[in-house]
Amino acid sequence: MLAMFFSLLVFSSALLCKADLNLTEDYSFQLSVFSDLHYGENESSFGIPADMNSAALMRQVLSQEQPNFVVLNGDLITGENTFAFNSTGYVDEIVAPLVEGGYSWASTYGNHDSKYNLSREALYAEEKKYTGSYTQHGPAGTDGVTNYVLPVFPPDTTGSSQAPVALLWFFDSRGGSEYQSLPANVDNIDNYVSNGTVSWYRSTQADLQVRCFPPPFQCPPPSLPPNLLVFKHALMLPRDFFVFIIARLPILHQSQYGTLPSLAFVHIPTLAFVDLQAQTNPNVSGPNYPGLNADVPLAQQGYSNTGSEAIPFMQALLDTPGLHSIYSGHDHGDSWCGRWPDSTLPGYGVGGGSSQNRPFLCFCKHSGYGGYGVWNRGVRQVRMSIDQSGGLSVDTWVRMQAGTVVTAVSLNETYGEDVYSTADGQ
């Protein structure tokens, strides 16, 4: 009880400093996911024009889509090409279109965000100077920086007497090299979500599987139990703060309406993406799973050929009730979505029996003009909708640099059977 209380205390205290993320009046919530922006690459040559093009793309897509929230899904900066005195200054350039447009955002960090002249900690410190940043630092016991969860609430609520209707999970797949370690820019950080982070995730997602009632999802503020009144007086915190926390304590406020739906964001994809890419029926980039499929084979988490280091993370994802879909970048030439596939790798389960119970896997889209590849740039859009029973549905598409929309699909029970246009924006 006490351990759970303090874990949720940390979770809630971060949220009290921010406005809630709320569904719109039609119970939807749209995210624009910018992946692999790679600011700061070769700034002595093509880097400055590339960053200017990336900023123009961001402004254009934000103007066209007007999302409710923005995700920066890793490799914000090409850290190996930066200098120590200006490496974090690229954060200011990256978020300028967001600040100008009044958009809030959350980040994961990628393997190029840790290099000789750039550390994740410094990147996080610079990002947190902005009130629009919802990025959080993972708790003790996790590895990397960006391991956290953000709740999404019903429309026009403040959260003090509400339970969330969905969760957004963010994971740090790490990779890259230690700050100021020699030889410079030689990768020496594990490139997968660590077991410590997996333990935190399993514990936290179990604690937060709380939801109240169908719309308007109202939770009556509970009274304070005597044992928590002691903490209130000891810490001299306002009662509303404790109401906010207790309304989310599973042991005090249980839901009878099933699991809390969620989405997950992690920069480097797992082996499940590799397995999906290798399957032939349906095949990725075809009419059932449309999207660019030019990075073959794709690069996954882990150093071994099997990517087995990430199996604990993969199994934790499969074991998560209500996890709808997982979004990754890293492989600039891929932009498809598919259903988590079968696998024969020992120790890697398929979870939940039927494939219909497994989460979807989606590549984002290479958004920045830095980084390898000559493919046309674009930005994945994710529109989540909550129905009257609390169920989640997701529509997703890619808004291209030319303003066109490609690979618009519904990630539903018949995805993989439905037929879509194979136009991928190239």
Q: How many CB atoms lie within 10 A of CB 404?
A: 12
**Above 60 in pLDDT, residue 246?**
no
Query: Please, what is the end-to-end C-alpha distance for the chain in angstroms?
Result: 54
Q: Report which residue type is found at 12.
A: S
The whole-chain average pLDDT of the chain stands at 83
Beta carbons within 8 Å of 162's beta carbon, 6+ residues apart: 153, 154, 212, 217, 218, 219, 247
Residue 122 has what pLDDT? 95
- The token duo for 217 is 């999802």
Question: Of 138 and 228, which is predicted with more confidence?
Answer: 138
Residue 342 has what pLDDT? 74
**Above 90 in pLDDT, residue 250?**
no
Instruction: Tell me the average pLDDT across 59-72.
Output: 98
Residue 19 has what pLDDT? 79
CB 25 within 8 A of CB 357: no
Instruction: Tell me the average pLDDT across 40-62.
Output: 89
Per-residue pLDDT of 394-413, as tens digits, reads 999 999 999 999 999 999 99
Q: Which helix (H) or strand (E) holds 385?
A: strand 378-386
Residue 280 has what pLDDT? 77
Beta bridge partners of 39: 77
Per-residue pLDDT of 32-49, as tens digits, reads 999 999 999 886 667 789
pLDDT bucket at 163, cuts 50 / 70 / 90: confident
* Beta pairing, strands 105-108 & 69-73: parallel
CB 252 within 8 A of CB 11: no
What three-state secondary structure class fits 237? coil
**Above 70 in pLDDT, residue 229?**
no
Helices 47-65 and 89-101 cross at an angle (nearest 10°) of 20
CB 331 within 8 A of CB 298: yes
> pLDDT exceeding 70 applies to what percent of the chain?
79
- The token duo for 32 is 């624009």
> pLDDT exceeding 90 applies to what percent of the chain?
63
Residues 210 and 97: their CA atoms lie apart, in Å, by 35
Question: Of 362 and 3, which is predicted with more confidence?
Answer: 362
What three-state secondary structure class fits 123? helix
CA-based nearest residue to 154, from 14, 263, 260, 17: 260
Residue 156 has what pLDDT? 80
Per-residue pLDDT of 77-110, as tens digits, reads 998 888 888 899 999 999 999 999 999 999 999 9
- The token duo for 215 is 């719309």
CB 81 within 8 A of CB 113: no
Instruction: Tell me the average pLDDT across 194-206.
Output: 94
Residue 258 has what pLDDT? 54
CB 149 within 8 A of CB 244: no
- Most confidently predicted of 4-8, 244-248, 308-312, 355-359: 308-312
**Above 90 in pLDDT, residue 5?**
no
Residue 152 has what pLDDT? 95
Per-residue pLDDT of 293-304, as tens digits, reads 999 999 999 987
Phi, psi angle pair for 166, to nearest 5°:
-160, 160
- The token duo for 401 is 């640099």
HSE, side-chain direction, 13 A CA sphere, residue 404 = 9
* Beta pairing, strands 262-266 & 323-328: parallel
pTM of the predicted structure, to 2 decimals? 0.86
Residue 298 has what pLDDT? 94
What three-state secondary structure class fits 65? helix
Per-residue pLDDT of 109-159, as tens digits, reads 999 999 999 999 999 999 999 999 999 999 999 999 999 999 999 998 765
